[in-house]
Structure 1
Amino acid sequence: MAKAESGKALNQTRNDTPGNAKAASIATLNALLVDIIDTTNATRQAHWNVKGSHFYGLHTMFEKFYEMLAEQTDELAERAVQLGGMPDGTTQTVGAKTRISPYDPNLLDGLDHCRALAERYAQLARHLREGIDKVDEAGDADTADLITDVSREVDKSLWMLEAHLHGQG
């Protein structure tokens, strides 16, 4: 039986993705899961605390973003399970393993939130593209396709954040 990168044996599944591809994909999915949960939490922080003349539009946009991220989180976690893995999105794991920069909990101004989120969405997007390459190299086209879908959604959100910052320097 193949083992995931963590050394844990994979759960039984009839999914015929090769064992080495499963292990690489599960490890990649778990790393991305941590990053997307952290980005979701940063987006919620912005949603809860945004102030200023753009309040309503940004409050609404941030809510749509964290809802989209929650859906994508579920897709990534479920793919890990489909491959025989065990997703780990606990608060402790996210805090210990995130690759996303810490979010300033004291931000209030809407455009400051846009700048901070744009930085983190760009980080997440980079990690997603790296993940696509890793699982594709390992031979798991289905997981690469799933991560590509997530990447497109994150890129779209990044574009919208950057549009709010146009002309801001």
Structure 2
Amino acid sequence: MLDPNNNSTTQMVAEINALLADHFALYVKTKNFHWHVKGPRFRDLHVLFDEQAIEIRDQIDAIGERARKIGGDTITSVGMIAQHTQVKDQDKVSLSAEEMIRELRDDNANMVSRLKAMKETAEAAGDNATDGLIDDWTDMAEERVWFLNSILG
């Protein structure tokens, strides 16, 4: 466990919690689009959005547990998710498939940027395990961006 009184560790926990909030918010948005996509590509997008939502959901526990393993606490409520996420709500159910794809692509690209920025904090905290996990999470988010971008042509 890292020193919980170290400023670098405190910053690492804060960034992990922001990443956790992003994953919760992106999971909900991706499921929303999975349920509401319409049009000639319905089946393909319905399946893709579900696959991506599952991947995001499966990362949530690992991210939360990482905060705990380094001596921090995690976000504890929907209110805290809203407070810490950079993913904007999308309540419209009438978006076109292309609008959904663009929005998810951009949200995932923002997540890639957040993850890459976290590397420096992990290094400063001497947190090699989180540093390695960030690489894995970045690769997954980059793949989602690639898939969504490829659909747009």
TM-score for both structures, normalised by structure 2: 0.90
Tell me the CA shift for residue 22 of structure 1: 3.1
Q: Structure 1 residue 130 and structure 2 residue 151: aligned?
A: no
| Aligned ranges 1:15-164 → 2 under 5 Å | 15=1, 17-19=2-4, 20=6, 21-164=8-151
Distance 2:19 2:119 in 1: 11
Distance 1:101 1:129 in 2: 20
Q: Is the 8 A contact 1:35 1:94 kept in 2?
A: yes
Moved over 6 A (4+): none
Helix, strand or coil for the counterpart of 2:115?
A: helix
Tell me the CA shift for residue 97 of structure 1: 2.1
Please give the root-mean-square deviation of Cα atoms over the aligned residues, in Å.
1.5
Tell me the CA shift for residue 66 of structure 1: 0.8
Tell me the CA shift for residue 155 of structure 1: 0.5
Name the structure, 1 or 2, with higher relative contact order (CA <8 Å, separation 6+): 2
Q: What CA deviation, in whole Å up to 9, does each residue of 1:45-93 have, x standing for no partner?
A: 1101000111001110111111100111111101111112221152111
Larger radius of gyration: 1
Structure 2 gaps of 5+ residues are none
Percent identity over paired residues: 27
Tell me the CA shift for residue 36 of structure 1: 1.5
Tell me the CA shift for residue 106 of structure 1: 3.1
**Structure with the higher fraction of residues in helix conformation:** 2
Structure 1 gaps of 5+ residues are 1-14
Distance 2:147 2:76 in 1: 27
Distance 2:139 2:11 in 1: 22
How many equivalent residue pairs?
A: 151
TM-score for both structures, normalised by structure 1: 0.82
